[in-house]
Homo-oligomer: A and B are copies of this chain.
Amino acid sequence: MIRIGIMGYGNLGRGIECAIRQNPDMELRAVFTRRDPGTVKILTEGVPVYRAEEAAEKKDEIDVLILCGGSATDLPKQTAEFASCFHVVDSFDTHAKIPEHFERVDKAAKGNGKVAVISTGWDPGMFSLNRLYASAVLPEGADYTFWGKGVSQGHSDAIRRIEGVVDARQYTIPVEEALEAVRSGAEPELSTRQKHTRECFVVAKEGADLMRIETEIKTMPNYFADYDTTVRFISAEELARDHSGIPHGGFVIRSGRTGWNKENHHIIEYSLKLDSNPEFTSSVIVAYARAAYRLGVEGAKGCKTVFDIAPAYLSAKSGEELRATML
């Protein structure tokens, strides 16, 4: 049994808890929280909830600690810190800062004989894998990543910070014509605006200036100004009824050419359609927790990404079983 600890019990932590239940070779041993543990009610019976500060004391009871904090402030500190006591897995997703995160975590993990798998999930994660495999197989071609249709937490939060907004939900939507152009093999150059649209459902305070709110959203730099954005005002009841899920997904497409004169075209497409973004992310993380544990048993140490881990480590099946049933 692989003994798992969860650091942080929000949407992602709960997703990890659910995923562990689907993997019979794993058991949840503890949840750690920055809240008062007495106020945190988890789903699994009989599993203790501790204060985050107590984690290091439990290092002999846990094989892999899964870090469920955010990429902005939690993980840059936590992953390296806990890699001194545990094999760890995180879903650090600030793409531009992955190289420095890797270096920091690698040093800590190597120094303590632990395996740390960073930036798992689906992007970075499964999407990254597909970008790598596809470009290695078709070195001449173009890569396209589309996200959605799905809820962007960051964009929803940005709308909520606008004066007069009570709540909001933002969907990122890939443009169907752009997808079709890519699938045709035409290798189009696509602007930000051509790839995705943004759809916002906003609950406004009574009497708020809706025109101003809409303008503030549509002109917000980085978040909305470069996109065709739709804003719809709805009631709190409608938001709760129609937009309470956290779906997401997307597409990674490689369009490439082979042949002596590059006369043949090929399209490799990978897509995800997810009812729950945090639960799917959790499912990927848990598979990499298995890999971290097994690599650790073999004596590996240091920081790894999805690129560095042979696929067989993710599966509970043996090499013989995999060759007989899945190859």
Contacts and interface: CB of A to CB of B under 8 A. Distances in A.
A128 B102 CA distance: 29
A279 interface: yes
B22 A139 contact: yes
B258 A140 contact: no
Q: How many of these chains are in the complex? A: 2
Nearest to A252: B270
A267 B95 CA distance: 25
Interface stretch (A150-158, A230-238, A311-319): A311-319
A258 B18 contact: yes
Interface residues of A, number: 70
A43 B99 contact: no
Contacts of A22: 139-140, 258
Contact of A99 (B266, B271, B315, B323): B323
Given A18-B260, A128-B326, A314-B132, A275 B266 contact: yes
B137 A126 contact: yes
A307 B320 contact: no
B280 A275 contact: no
Contact of A139 (B23, B43, B132): B23
A322 to B, nearest CB: 5
Interface string A58-77: 00000000000000000000
Contacts of A102: 323
Interface string A283-321: 110010010000000000000011111111011100110
Interface in A252-292: 258-260, 263-276, 279-280, 282-284, 287, 290
A103 to B, nearest CB: 10
Interface of A: 15, 17-19, 21-23, 43, 95, 98-99, 102, 119, 124, 126, 128-133, 135-140, 183, 258-260, 263-276, 279-280, 282-284, 287, 290, 305-312, 314-316, 319-320, 322-324, 326-327
20 contacts: A18-B258, A19-B258, A43-B260, A99-B323, A124-B327, A132-B311, A132-B326, A133-B311, A135-B315, A136-B315, A137-B314, A258-B283, A259-B279, A264-B276, A264-B279, A265-B275, A266-B275, A266-B280, A307-B312, A310-B310
User: 8 tightest CB-CB pairs across the interface, nearest first?
Assistant: A264-B275, A136-B314, A258-B279, A307-B312, A264-B276, A267-B273, A136-B315, A136-B287
